[in-house]
Chains A and B, each alone.
Chain A
Amino acid sequence: MASNAAVPFWRAAGMTYITYSNICANLVRNCLKEPYKTEALSREKVHFSISKWTDGKPEKPTLRSDSPEE
């Protein structure tokens, strides 16, 4: 069997399929006409809180609202 035939250029550069797919989706969303564009971008916003743990105790959590463009 041939070992891993031609890999796609993004995998050769170290990117995973999910990252590639999300980048493509973001680019498409950014090229939409106005009402659809704001709908799409607001649909993809994420809000989350991260807390780092040290010595078995959580530190103060930070709230983040990342928009899809990071």
Chain B
Amino acid sequence: MLRRALGLLPRPIAAARARSFSTDLPAAHTADATFMEAWNKVMPNMDPPKTPLSFMHPRPPTPSSIPPKLTVNFVLPYASELSTKEVDMVIVTATTGQMGFLPGHVATIAELKPGVLSVHEGSETTKYFVSSGFVFIHANSFADIIAVEAVPLDRIDANLVQKGLADFTQKLSSATTELEKAEAQIGIDVHSALNSALTG
């Protein structure tokens, strides 16, 4: 029985290697040759129109050796906090626990929990409290962190956090429907994360 299973193994792996992963983008966008020929026949003196793809910067290819720094893009819906900033390490609070990302990390997608995001550059650490979001690490050591709301820790008011925690704990005990219970639980989670961010 085991021998049969071993025999079946190599085939799926070989098939997967034949197709490239969706996370590997082509290195650069090349214009379509047929279109260029047809264009030059009709309009030899005018530049061909640019397509949206040619405006996009292609993702830098995965280097063969681990790069010295991680390049971070940290964006919020209303602002771009960090844009292609080179850092040494990023620590995020994912739903699966605290995760640290160093250059050369394997490509990962992680969903964030309300918690602290810290960006380490040399001897400086910048910390933000993130309400929720996602972090995408690509094979070429680029990290895209997207969050709905992220604030530096010194903008958080401890009294409001305590008050919120007490309110939601009380709401949880008096909640009746599933939805109310879920909302109260979310409130408790967020406020206790805020609390530990302020004290920790």
Contact = CB atoms under 8 A, between A and B. Distances in A.
Interface stretch (A18-26, A46-54, A57-65): A18-26
Contacts of B191: 27, 31
Given A33-B157, A36-B155, A27 B190 contact: yes
B182 A13 contact: yes
Size band of the B side of the interface? 20 to 34
Given A28-B114, A31-B161, A43-B78, A21 B148 contact: yes
Interface in A3-34: 8-10, 12-15, 20-25, 27-34
Contact of B186 (A27, A33, A36): A27
A24 B164 contact: no
B179 A13 contact: yes
B183 A23 contact: yes
Chain A: interface residue count, which band?
Answer: 20 to 34
The interface residues of chain A, by DSSP majority, are classed as: helix
A40 to B, nearest CB: 8
B131 A25 contact: yes
B151 interface: yes
A24 B157 contact: no
A33 B133 CA distance: 22
* Closest 9 A/B residue pairs (Cβ): A13-B182, A25-B149, A13-B178, A25-B148, A24-B131, A28-B131, A25-B131, A31-B160, A27-B190
Interface of A: 8-10, 12-15, 20-25, 27-34, 36-37, 40, 43
Given A21-B131, A21-B133, A23-B187, 10 more contacts: A12-B182, A13-B179, A20-B186, A21-B148, A24-B186, A25-B148, A27-B186, A28-B131, A28-B190, A32-B151
25 contacts: A9-B185, A10-B182, A12-B182, A13-B181, A14-B179, A20-B186, A21-B148, A23-B183, A24-B148, A24-B149, A25-B131, A25-B149, A27-B190, A28-B114, A28-B149, A28-B151, A28-B194, A31-B160, A31-B164, A32-B151, A32-B156, A32-B157, A32-B160, A33-B156, A37-B157
